[in-house]
Amino acid sequence: MLFNSWTFVVFLGVVFALHYASRRAFWQVGVLTVASFVFYGWHTPWLVILLILSTAVNAQAAQWLMAEGWSPQRRRAVLFGALGFNVGALAFFKYFGLLVTTLVPEALRARMPAWFSEVPLPIGISFYTFQGISLVVESWHAGTKGFPGLMPPRGPREVGWFHARVWFFKAFFPQLIAGPIVKAADFFHQIGPKRWADVDWSGALRKLVLGFFLKMVVADNLKEATALLSHPGFLEVPRLNLWLLLYGFSFQIFADFAGYSFIAQGLAKLFGYELPLNFDHPYLSTSLTEFWRRWHLSLSSWLREYLYIPLGGNRRGEVRTYINLFLVMFLGGLWHGAAWSYAAWGTAHGLFLALERLTGIGRADPTRLPLWRRALGIVVTFHLVSLLWLLFQFPDIRHAGAYVRCLFTNPGGALPQSIFVIAVFCLPAVLYHAWGASRGWRGRMGPLWSGRVEALVYGVLLFLILVNAGASGDFIYFQF
Enzyme catalytic residues: 336
Residue 254 neighbours by CB under 8 Å, 6+ apart: 214, 279, 282, 283, 429
Amino acid at 88: G
The helix (run of H) or strand (run of E) holding residue 21 is: none
Identify whether the C-beta of residue 257 lies closer than 8 Å to the C-beta of residue 477: yes
| Cβ-contact 283, 254 below 8 angstroms | yes
- Distance between CA 222 and CA 212 in Å, rounded? 14
Q: How far apart are CA 120 and CA 114, in angstroms?
A: 11
HEC sequence for 347-363: HHHHHHHHHHHHHCHHH
Q: Residue 191's closest CA among 176, 169, 214, 224?
A: 169
Asked if residue 55 lies in contact with residue 71, where contact means CB atoms within 8 angstroms, the answer is: no
Surface-to-core class of residue 59, CB atoms within 10 Å of its CB (0-12 exposed, 13-18 middle, 19+ buried): buried
Cα–Cα distance for residue pair 260/255, rounded to 1 Å: 8
User: 3-state class of 293 per DSSP?
Assistant: coil
